Structure 1
Amino acid sequence: MDNATHLHFFKLTNSLSAWMAATTTVVLLLLHLTTTTSTNIYSGTITPNFTASHYQFIENSGDFLRSRNRNYTAAIANPQPTSQSFYLVIYHTASHTVIWTANRNNPISSSSQVHFSTTGITINNDSGKPIWSTPVIKSTVAALQLLDSGNLILIDQLNNTLWQSFDFPTDTIVSGQRFPVWKSLTASISPADFSAGKYMFTLTPADGVLTWQGLTYFKLSMDPNSFKNSDRPVSYLTLNGSGCNLVHDPGSETVIKILLTSAVSGSDYRILKILTDGTLVIMRYTNNNWVTDFTTPADGCRSPFRCGMAGVCASGGGCSCPAGFGTDRSSNSGCSLSDNSLSLPKSCDGTGSLSHQQPENYVYFPVAGVKYFLIDFINPVQNGVGLVTCQDICSANCSCLGLFYGNKSGSCYLIENHLGSFISSNEENDSMGFIKAIDSRDRNSTSNSDFPMVIMVLLPVSGVLLISILAVWMRRTRYKRTKSDSKKLVDNSCLDDLEMFVIAGLPVRFGYEDLVEATVNFSTPVGSGGFGTVYKGVLRDKTVVAVKKITALGSQGKKEFGTEIAIIGNIHHVNLVKLKGFCTHKRDRFLVYEYMNRGSLDRTLFGPGPPLEWQERFEIAVGTARGLAYLHSGCEHKIIHCDVKPENILLSDDMQVKISDFGLSKLLSPEQSGLFTTMRGTRGYLAPEWLTNEAISDKTDVYSYGMVLLELIQGRKNCAHAPTHGSENPTTGAQGQSSGSSGSQNRHRARPLYFPLQALEMHEQGRYLDLVEPRLAGRVTKDEAEKLVKLALCCVQEEPSLRPTMANVVAMLEGTLPVGTPRLESLNFLRFYGRRFSEPSMVATEAEVEIPSGFMVSIESSGTSVSPDLFSYMSSQQQRNNY
């Protein structure tokens, strides 16, 4: 072969090799592009005729669509790596937390497909059968979009939203999402199973409600960090970096605000989620970690099924079974009857008709020392009945699985349809629980095997009833004998119901001799008030107590005595005085309190000793506000104190603050807002609504608190006679505060002063430091003074709706809410009363006010007729009512 031939062959070979290499490259490139396209993660938008499965996108763990800023991802994923159940989900990309699930109740396999077409989204199982789809959409769908908010939407060609996932929430809502009224979140069964469980959170126009199988077990407003600002109906719930609010629309007015545990920047990402155990949480994602800011209910035992059916949940979450029950080994959850011949009934279809069992086939197991979540949210089916009647009612209702019976009231509560867990309680409860069981043994049998069960179930109840009847008979017999022996005893009202009742939650009912010994025959008085005197005492166990002796009790006083016991005996808060017990003796009633060794605030604030430092005054203001906030919103029934004043604020050596004297308190259910028939309280602290027949509410206490706050600022009574120039004692900084002859002798040298008006005038001029007690000069900043003055004026506004709630007062003091600005038009009434107070005729005697509502009467004072609309704003002289 010549050289020319060789050269030609070489060129041909090179050309062929180059062509083959190029062809191979193109083929490989095409294969690569095909593979990449099939597993690409789309950004923001997908157009119709799209199909996906987990297997198809397995290289991306099932992810197929992300929002444009990559905050959220849509995927076909399983909840755990070992799970064979797959769902169409949206999750928060950074934390991989699922926020929405399409087919939660119908999981698919890894090869099942999700189709997106011009009619919407459809999920098919392996057989091609649709198991989930978006609703029928009449318009043509142009695109599927995942927004940066986490909302998955379908839009038309004009970008109109045709469908959105935010309208169908599952168990989570996210920052920026509006959760409208009547929408619900349903907890998943478990972290490995996204199916809808039995716990649900529903937003109603009045509240956020947590339910278990349709039974309410908690409300958002019951949480101490949830505060109500308005009575308007709720329109939606919104969550953002700064907090969580239940809002009324139009107007975007916050009805209920949740104060979160951590103050964070507004950019932080939050979610609200109902967990698998029924707990509602608000969590914040910060620094690549989840932080829980809010948990409700905080008490884990409030979860209705924490310990399974018939289980008893103790503090700390420990579970046990009632007497006669053992752990249910078949389900490894809850309790079952130890006696195999007995069984727990199953609820019927809810019709209430008789089941196949006859009433005599039922027995009832007593469960002592427990509470049940449902009792707080239902009414008794009947009141004033006996236990046997209550059991008969339950026996005749096939939906009834148990009952609670009130020993004193005779109230009968039924546990219907579902039996959850009980809550262990150390408090002495008036009511007792019973679990209904079916006895399958032959009742006609002469066997003695039934005897132990009958004794176990019936004897405790029968014994208690028998002993109670015997005790009442003995008391009545003894009373009749005593009455016939002595004509000096009081009339029948001396031995009324107070002689025989037992108050739930009170540890001690003291004997009269015990109190005589403790007080050394009542020899050490520490204060006095409208109904009696307070004595210092020492019990046999060396506990120091304050014994309040209430004498000459009329019908109203008896009612207040019972009210005070009922309230204080069943509430517990660090800023509320603790009632240790009570005693009745002839006409006298006694209340035994924990002893507060510094006495009442008025002693320290208005007394001749060294002044309270500003920080001490601030802490007193905070402690008092917390106590009132608890009374208003922390208890299951709203409690209005009705007599907030320095005399009813007690202090200890370490400046611990406690509110006392609940004799004037009013209990309201959440729905009640009616008028009281009698005006009660102390002049100088009474809100205007007492005089106008307007509804008395918790805002009435807010007004009184505002007046106390003004006195804390200035260190003297709001309605006082300030010394004229040159007569003020430079040491005490005040005169005219003490009662007695010295005050009367100096009164002609004193000028009248109505401090609330002065506070208003100084507020208008921005001269806040001029209002602070002179003895604190140089130790208080303008900002500190301005904060308390503005807050006090907000509290004493004439219109109750303009006053903040006590919960908001606490938040303002603690800095989690800004202090509001009082409206001057709602404070103009102070100018009128300030001018009237300066008139010489406005010198009134010391008294508490009690005027039947709706009556305008004259109160004679030093020969001058004073109308009650002005009298109510005039301060009483210092009153020694310390407890």
Structure 2
Amino acid sequence: MAPVLSTIFLFFYVLSAVEGAEQELPSRIILGSSLFPTSHPPSWFSPSGRFAFGFYQQGTGFAVGIWLVGKHNTTVVWTANRNDPPVSANSTIVLTEDGKLLYRIGQGGEKLIANNTEAASFASLHDSGNLVLYNKNSEVIWESFKYPTDTILGGQTLFSGGQLISSSDTGHSTGRFHLKMQDDGNLVLYPLNTGDTPGDAYWDSQTFGDGSKFHLYLNSSGHLLIINGTISKIIKTLYYNSLSAYNDNSTIYHATLDTDGVLRLYSHRYNETGELKAWPALKNPCEVKSFCGFNSYCTLNDGQPVCLCLPGSAPIDPNQGTLGCSRNYSESGCKGGKENALHFNITTMENIEWGDRHYVQQSMSIDECSKSCLEDCNCGAALFSKNMCMKQGLPLRYVVRKIQSGDQDASTTALLKVGIGGNRTDLIPSKPTIIVFASEKELLPAILMTSGLVLFSCISLIIFCLFIYKIRSIRYKRLLENGEDGLTEELKLRLFSYNELKVATNGFKEELGKGSFGAVYKGTLYRGKKLVAVKRLEKLLEEGEREFQAEMRAIGRTHHKNLVRLLGYCAVDSKRLLVYEYMGNGSLANLLFKSSGRPDWNERIRIAIDVAKGILYLHEECETPIIHCDIKPQNILMDDFWTAKIADFGLAKLLMPDQTRTFTILRGTRGYVAPEWHKNTPISVKADVYSYGIVLLEIVCCRRNMELNTSKPEEIILSTWVHQCFVAGELQKLVIGEEADKKSLEKMVMVALWCIQDEPALRPSMKSVVMMLEGITDISIPPCPTAESM
């Protein structure tokens, strides 16, 4: 029976192809024809009137496309330039006299609808819904069937290498999923902007072979087939319609990748109302990977998919559950070790799985797994199964809650780290208070003794405070008079006289650079044997003294190969100078933006890792955590061996040992400061992570974050342009003319996009950044950096 059906299908497939080639052309759309959104003619119709091409309403504006005309509504099956914003009511579609099909936007520019290289002589909209341009010999030079968006129609083929991309929830722009007719012959559904690996797929046709010959074909009678176009052989039937439908010309079929990521086949009958769903690739939309976004999972409620956040996270947007969830606690308080139990707890969920690759897998008990994740700052969750503990950093993707199977060996337990609000004294049961009554005679001596002790304690405390105040006043006076504040002994820095540094710099003659608080000069010590850089603070009073103290405390206690080393200082009268090691190759800004030749790709990767390690040292490895507050290429210097080192701690904000966040005035440089600086919220080390993300993008592209001289408006803001290229899969545009490794380019961009997330909690720690750049941990697909763009 199967060979007979296959023969019948092939007969009608070939017949429909022949009929499509031999049918008479529909009414011609001649050169010079125009369409208008709100006046006649609004659209061009196919001969039967079933399809229309022109402007259709989208929000408060109009989009250009093809739609199936219904009795009560319209179904859009193709959209031109789908990611462009809606156009205004004074726009026009024109088939120009020189054979171009385009639309004019208001009083301004033009947008091509068809990219035909040969001039068109006329156009036609077929009853199949195919918009076709013809040359003077009536030969097809362009057709909409070759450029599908989210839909294929009856008689349309999705060729090898082609894809359908779902529409967004708010319109017909690009959505979150795509259907791909792969070169290996397999038809696969993936979330968009993933690696399209087997781990990303959530449905496939299981067809493999000579993929260059395999096509997805929907015939006019509703048969959805995968065929070998070369030998006209059916490889697989995805949906088989009854044979009686072959003579039913009142039914139109289309297969659409819907906004929820499910491919469905629809039928429209003109003697009935509405449309019918004939076939879905997936019956349960919760099987769609990434349907609910990061840190959330899908469940069915009355047959409808609902997205729920994992414990320890909250919705990014309560009105759009599919955007995912972000952690509802800060990770900056994580110090590692047993003290984490004061700030975090572990909660469990049964039969939960996710699609990320774990960074640690060890054999241990569930209690040991829970404790290990709790004490590990990189661990946001762990999966426990068959006595194996698999630790995973956040965010989690492709989270699935499995149906209980009854197979204990296949069960999994998710251990999720959550933050604890406030202290935990409320968890400790209080002991009952015992009240003992005594007589007045017994109470009087106790009262007198207690009062005496309180009075003595108060007097002692006052005397102690006055003593401490006097000592500090004397120390501060010495600091202002001669700089002898004990810092030399504490920091083991050399104390220079002013004349020594004046001679060393030849009277401050050769200026290396200038900052907000003073200039930096080149100098030599030890009879010219050692080059140094001398920073002279010029704003001396309150601001200069504050800067001097900040740099002394911040740099004096640090020692790392990726930090500029402080050698000594001068503090005589009102003069404040700092002596640094000399960095012979200038700043990273000069190397990236002013150098005649770009650093090669491997050199840029090394510089990015050097800078990340320097910031990691400041955040996590210093005795006192330091927020630099002004990470930018001008403050990253290159030594004689081209090692990148972070400089200029004058704006650094030191944290107390028990602090994770702090309030402070706005610091830093425009273009590099994190959004939270403008929101009057506490600043954490994540502010430096944001600045590093901007610098990382500049290292990748060798251009500034803002470039006003570019000819393309979308390239003005670097971070916006990079995200657009990432979404479009066109990262090679960022390094045109270079041989950059594709995988490392994608890795650097993904890390940078995670670092510049608006929400500080979504940004990784610098330890995670270093591990991702060095390839130790995998990188999840980052969401859009700005919440407004989601």
TM-score (norm 1): 0.38
- Mark the structure with the bigger radius of gyration: 1
TM-score (structure 2 length as normaliser): 0.42
